Amino acid sequence: MQLINLKKNQSGFTLVEIAIVLVIIGLLLGGVLKGKEMIKSAKVKKTVKMADELRAATMTFYDKYGAYPGDENNANIPSNVAHNGNGNGFISYEERYMVFEDLMNAGFISGSYDGEKNLPRHAFGGNVAIYWTTDLDAPADHYIVMWGLPWDAAMEIDMKYDDGKEKTGSIRSSEEYAESSGPIGYIIWAL
């Protein structure tokens, strides 16, 4: 029986080869992380754009019809609306679904809203509504309300478009901007 010396036939990776592999892995991880950050940034911009468009649509509706969407109580404003509000001059919490039915039927927003149960969703997947509130110690006014924003997205929006503080300004949060809090319950954004 003949013994074969296996050590002569074995070879390993050189330090240069290992370094190249580590650099490639680092580049891939960096690309993935940067890609996630770019996606989050795009969603934040889309959420802000949505708020701007809803603000413009609501105020255009008010200018055209003399009443807030959802609150109007005239069957002909706009046409093809199945629901009417109480006409008291404020969009109440109960009228929040009718807002989007009115805006859709007036041609100011796209989508399909029945005035009873469906609300638009922001880029992160949570619901969006518009109504009169004093939540979070805010001055009584109409607000765009967004539920379920990631804490860091809510903080970024507040820092760029307001004072960056959860409990003051025209953008207010129901929770602290902290990683441990997970998604924010909701933010209100002055109309």
Say what the pLDDT of residue 1 is. Answer: 53
Contact 46, 106 (CB under 8 A): no
- For residue 6, the model assigns a pLDDT of 54
Q: What is the pLDDT of residue 143?
A: 97
* pLDDT cut 70: percent of the chain above it: 94
Q: Which amino acid is at 43?
A: K
Assign 5 a pLDDT band (cuts: 50, 70, 90).
Answer: low
Instruction: Report residue 103's pLDDT band, with 50, 70 and 90 as the boundaries.
Output: very high
**Structure confidence by residue, pLDDT tens digits, 6-21:** 555 567 788 888 888 8
Q: Give the pLDDT of residue 3.
A: 55
Quote the CA–CA distance of 2 and 20 in Å, as a whole number.
39
pLDDT at 52: 96
Q: What is the mean pLDDT of residues 50-58?
A: 97
Q: What is the reported pTM?
A: 0.82
Cα dihedral 188, 92, 136, 134, rounded to 10, equals 120
Q: For residue range 110-146, what is the model confidence (pLDDT) as tens digits?
A: 999 999 999 999 999 999 999 999 999 999 999 999 9
Rounded to whole angstroms, how far apart are CA atoms 49 and 81? 26
Q: Which helix (H) or strand (E) holds 144?
A: strand 141-147
Lowest mean pLDDT among 45-59, 77-91, 93-107: 77-91
Residue scoring higher pLDDT (75 or 39): 39
**Residue 159 — left, alpha, or beta (φ > 0 → left; ψ -120 to 50 → alpha)?**
alpha
DSSP string, 20-76: HHHHHHHHHHHHHHHHHHHHHHHHHHHHHHHHHHHHHHHHHHHHHHSS-TTT---TT
Angle of CA points 6, 8, 10, to nearest 5°: 70
| Sequence spans of domains, the chain | 44-190
Residue 191: partners with Cβ closer than 8 Å, 6 or more residues away? 55, 58, 59, 130, 141, 142, 143, 144
Amino acid identity at 73? N
